[in-house]
């Protein structure tokens, strides 16, 4: 008898599934943003910031101290992509370090583009001199859209 593992979410035909590898670090003040539901005291009002209550989820992060991570502002010291959205400093930040992950685009990306991050931790197309953090697997027509990225932490500089 053979046993196969199946993903817990649907995979498009022709696509393969790979488990992501993640670690948990504490979020510093650059990642913590209270994004509770609109109308709750302390919540970000609609129209303020991105107006979508996304916080800093799906952004690249860098180490900022022992077991601590913060928003990556360049592609040099990035450790992975944050998968959740910590509400206050010290909350757990789930950081995807390997495999397929979802990133927030910093501009238009096409499948196959090599990506790095901009000063807001968003995925952008890598150019000469940038450290490659991954490869876009899907398209993103513009900023703040989600794009699937195959992470390649430690890839060489272009």
* Mean predicted lDDT score pLDDT of the chain: 82
User: Looking at the domain assignment, is residue 1 inside a domain?
Assistant: no
With 50 as the cut, is the pLDDT of residue 120 above it? yes
Q: What are phi and psi of 99, to 5 degrees?
A: 100, -160
- What domain count does the chain have? 1
pLDDT at 108: 97
User: Looking at the domain assignment, is residue 131 inside a domain?
Assistant: yes
pLDDT at 85: 85
Model confidence over 81-102: pLDDT tens digits? 999 888 889 999 999 999 999 9
Model confidence over 39-80: pLDDT tens digits? 666 555 554 444 455 678 899 999 999 999 999 998 889 999
User: Looking at the domain assignment, is residue 15 inside a domain?
Assistant: no
DSSP one-letter string for 10-54: ---TT------EEEEEEE-TTT------TTSTTSPPTTSTTSS--
User: Looking at the domain assignment, is residue 53 inside a domain?
Assistant: yes
pLDDT at 48: 44
How far apart are alpha carbons 69 and 90 in whole angstroms?
A: 10
pLDDT band at 4 (very low <50, low <70, confident <90, very high): very low
Per the structure, the complete domain to which residue 103 belongs is given by 21-151
User: Looking at the domain assignment, is residue 122 inside a domain?
Assistant: yes
Residue 66: CATH number of its domain: 2.40.300
């Amino acid at each position: 008898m053979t046993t196969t593992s199946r993903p817990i979410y649907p995979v498009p035909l022709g696509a393969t599934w790979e488990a992501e590898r993640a670690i948990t670090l504490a979020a510093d003040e650059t990642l913590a943003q209270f994004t509770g539901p609109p109308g709750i005291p302390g919540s970000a009002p609609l129209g303020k910031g991105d107006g979508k209550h996304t916080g800093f989820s799906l952004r690249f992060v860098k180490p900022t101290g022992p077991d601590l991570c913060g928003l990556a502002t360049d592609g040099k010291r990035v450790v992975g992509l944050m998968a959740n959205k910590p509400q206050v400093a010290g909350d757990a930040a789930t950081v995807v370090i390997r495999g397929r992950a979802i990133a927030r685009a910093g501009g238009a990306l096409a499948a196959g583009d090599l990506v790095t991050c901009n000063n807001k931790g968003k995925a952008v197309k890598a150019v000469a001199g940038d450290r490659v953090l991954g490869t876009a697997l899907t398209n993103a027509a513009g900023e703040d859209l989600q794009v699937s990225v195959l992470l390649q932490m430690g890839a060489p500089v272009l």
